[in-house]
Chains A and B, each alone.
Chain A
Amino acid sequence: MNSQEQDRIKTLLREALPPIEDSAGPARDLWPGLLRRMDAQPAAHSGWLWFDCALAVGLVAMIAVFPASIPVILYYL
């Protein structure tokens, strides 16, 4: 795809979906909803940390065993 084709598709995109105006803001106060969320689910998600670590270890192990998978992983990153 050459630069002219790129410019044409960019123009089409901008005409189909104009940019959001800078003045856009939420229609309601979101703080009460956030407080409800915090009350419902207290912080300290230590389980996620373990999950993250397990995922990272699994990924490293997969790369070590199947080095050919590196391009596939990079593609999906």
Chain B
Amino acid sequence: MNDGSIAVLDASEVLRQFQAGSIDAFEELFRLHQRAVYGWILRIVRNTAAAEDLTVETFWRIHCARARFDPARGFMPWARRIATHAALDYLRAQRPEVELPPEDAAALTAPPAGDSAVSAEIRLEVTRALGRLPPRLRVAAVLAVIEEEPYKEIADALGVSVTAVKVRVFRALRILRKDLESRGITP
């Protein structure tokens, strides 16, 4: 990695060196933030293998765009926005019905908060209905409703206003309700 010289630098110096093209500083940032970036992407795509690939893709984009980085706005919000767009690109490239595999990320999810009244069949239908949503609506709904991330954080990550996020969540829920009702599931 390095001889330890980076370790004694403060965060702003690491960011400055990263902007200047230092691979050591980039690795420092990668080691510091990869877990958070991976977790954010996993929350969106809910597929561990894809999340790993997209984490690499995100840091690759970060490296390419380092000249446009504004240290005043912080590294993680910037990285989260790039990660969100990488995840959106991935979701757009997927066909509906093959997304959001419930079994894949199941080991990483918290135990269901609800009772067992919701059958496995209904869970599967809800997951499929979510997978049929347009990606930009799905991302907003997953982050806001399931992951309960703050609207401001979601808005920053998507590069839209908080109001736009609320509208997307509302539209996603409305589409989901209609979709599920058409399949005989009344929420």
Contact = CB atoms under 8 A, between A and B. Distances in A.
The B interface, classified by DSSP as helix, strand, loop or mixed, is helix
Contacts of B141: 13
B30 A34 contact: yes
Nearest to B38: A26
B100 interface: yes
Interface stretch (B5-13, B85-93, B111-119): B111-119
B109 A11 contact: no
B18 to A, nearest CB: 12
Contacts of A8: 187
Residue from A18, A28, A37 having most chain B Cβ neighbours under 10 A: A18
Interface in B26-70: 27, 30-31, 34-35, 38-39, 42-43, 46, 48, 51-52, 55-57, 59-60, 63-64
Interface in A1-53: 1, 5-6, 8-22, 24-28, 30-31, 33-34, 37-38, 41, 43-45
A65 B60 CA distance: 37
B123 A16 contact: yes
A77 interface: yes
B76 interface: no
B42 A38 contact: no
B146 A14 contact: yes
Given A19-B147, A25-B39, A37-B60, A14 B113 contact: yes
Contacts of B122: 12, 16
B130 interface: yes
B20 interface: no
A20 B55 contact: no
A33 B148 CA distance: 31
Contacts of A31: 27, 30-31, 34
Contacts of A44: 64
B176 to A, nearest CB: 6
6 contacts: A1-B177, A12-B180, A15-B113, A26-B38, A37-B57, A38-B60
Interface of A: 1, 5-6, 8-22, 24-28, 30-31, 33-34, 37-38, 41, 43-45, 77
